[in-house]
A and B are shown apart, each in its own frame.
Chain A
Amino acid sequence: MPDLSARPEAIKAVPLRHPGRWVAAVVVLAITAEVVGTIVTAPGLQWDVVTHYLFQGYILGGVVLTLELTVISMVIGVGLGVLLAIMRLSPNPVVSSVSWFYIWFFRGTPVLVQIFFWFNLNSVIQFVGVGVPFTNIGWHVGTNTLIPNVVAAILGLGLNEAAYMAEIIRAGIISVDHGQTEAAQALGMRRLLVMRRIVLPQAMRVIIPPTGNETISMLKTTSLAFIATVTELFTRSEQIASANFKIIELLFVASIWYVFMTSILTFGQFYIERHYARGSQRELPPTPLQRFRRILFQGHAPPPWPVAADPGVSPGRHT
């Protein structure tokens, strides 16, 4: 048995200098400052116009509408996407073909066309309803009443999104080790219970990052709702610009709001990912605040994902 108390002194070496890193940092910062400076100090750019319209009621209404379109379309996209993904993996050939066809069709046509389609549906179908065929019994409603402009935009965005989400969710589901399904089945769990309790929670780790992408992408795709005469953020800023010709200023207004909303979504995504990382890392990744503190007090950034430290037990074999 070696003498454990005779542990040699910890290594205190002179750190290696990295002059290259300093040069690179200075160059990158200089270029960035130049580009940003040129735009911000552009002679014709009126910042007071930007600040004036940034919190104007009409613009704020557009922000709210953009958020509503994004949230509702994503809820439809994710909900229908889960259903389509499970349908595609179904042993029933009809069910899986229907899902395949849906994905093929909605990915195959531009979302702009789809929104426009729902918006103009009333020109070919004046009434929709349910009823007993060949009788007068039933319930009918005008297409325009059923699908007002906002609903046309939401249908176009949401149904299109579902096709993409279905593939993301399917990728997540098939990424989960088949042994998980077998273990659950061996315990007597039924197919949908296995999916809900065992497979989907593990698939979430694979599903969330691309879903964050999709949500952020959706936030900006909502600007296509203008084709259905929905005046969301971008449309409203365009309307103002066409009246006062402050085009760049109003693009700035819209962009600032888009960037702000994207930042919040990015932030939210981080915490959702952290939640579903339970049990997959020995230690949860540090929050931005924790990272910031460590940079301040330890002088260097921790890796964004912790390296597996020896927790004092034999980790066993991960097969």
Chain B
Amino acid sequence: MAAINATPMLRAQAVHKSYGRLEVLRGIDLEVAPREVMCLIGPSGSGKSTFLRCINHLEKIDAGRLFVDGELVGYQQRGEKLHELRDTDVCHKRSEIGMVFQRFNLFPHMTALENVIEAPLHVKGERAAVATVRGRKLLERVGLADKVDVYPNQLSGGQQQRVAIARALAMEPKLMLFDEPTSALDPELVGEVLDVMRDLAHSGMTMVVVTHEMSFAREAGDTLVFMDGGVIVEVGTPRDVLANPQHERTKSFLAHVL
């Protein structure tokens, strides 16, 4: 479980984000320790996905602070002032954070293996032979050793999402973000993706998972966060929050999804 006193892998302080006049995040404070698995739940439009996208700076936050592994996301503090990071630095930091998308977003013109080794080759500058060996191992790890040379459109949704997880792992990230990884899948394919994620959680990966899979949250999650209207309504261990929610809003949400 989470080590005490270590630098948190993720720290959010009063994170605010608006699109025009719409305030999507209205002050998010949370911490994720190394090796911790945090699940974010909440109704659609509650800001979960936006928060996730802020963590690797796909979205800029308007106010507050976000730290990954002790370092500010997207900015640099020099004296009193915040300076925007150069593109190179933003990209470098993103490369240390893996992200898995609801709609997989595999590169359709590349085979499963090419998808996995793309970033190691062209972002890290790894040698082709080395990257290929590791790529094959990763595909094997997600149970797709026989699909190495297959294009994404010949894979089922569950298989595609597992390739996407392998692709993210290929950069050896210190933090993995999952944005509703099973929401676009046929019900019978959800299990295979959750199995891979469960293994990953057991291997000690730090994970932030936006999900509607309460069973996953209960089994693999260390912390469960319920968000609504751009704020955190309730935080606790999954067991406590799911069995004994304290807030009315949490109760009514869980009553609908459980």
Contacts and interface: CB of A to CB of B under 8 A. Distances in A.
A180 interface: yes
A187 B154 contact: no
A195 to B, nearest CB: 12
B189 interface: yes
B109 A187 contact: no
A190 B86 CA distance: 11
A186 B99 CA distance: 6
A187 B151 contact: no
B154 A282 contact: yes
A313 interface: yes
Nearest to A182: B58
Interface centre among B108, B118, B119 (most CB of A within 10 A): B108
Contacts, number: 104
Does more than half of chain A's interface fall in helix, strand or loop, or is it mixed?
loop
A278 B119 CA distance: 20
Interface in A285-317: 311, 313-317
Interface stretch (A52-60, A154-162, A196-204): A196-204
Interface residues of A, number: 32
A317 B101 contact: no
A182 B4 CA distance: 34
Interface in B155-180: 155-160, 164, 167-168, 171
B88 interface: yes
A187 B56 CA distance: 10
Contacts of B215: none
Interface in A108-155: none
B107 A280 contact: no
A2 interface: no
Contact of B189 (A186, A190, A314): A314
Which 3 residue pairs spanning A and B have beta carbons closest together? Answer: A188-B95, A316-B157, A183-B105
30 contacts: A177-B105, A179-B103, A179-B105, A183-B107, A186-B56, A186-B94, A186-B97, A186-B168, A187-B123, A187-B167, A188-B92, A188-B93, A188-B95, A188-B123, A189-B119, A201-B109, A278-B109, A279-B108, A279-B109, A279-B152, A279-B153, A280-B108, A280-B153, A313-B154, A313-B155, A313-B159, A314-B157, A314-B189, A317-B157, A317-B185
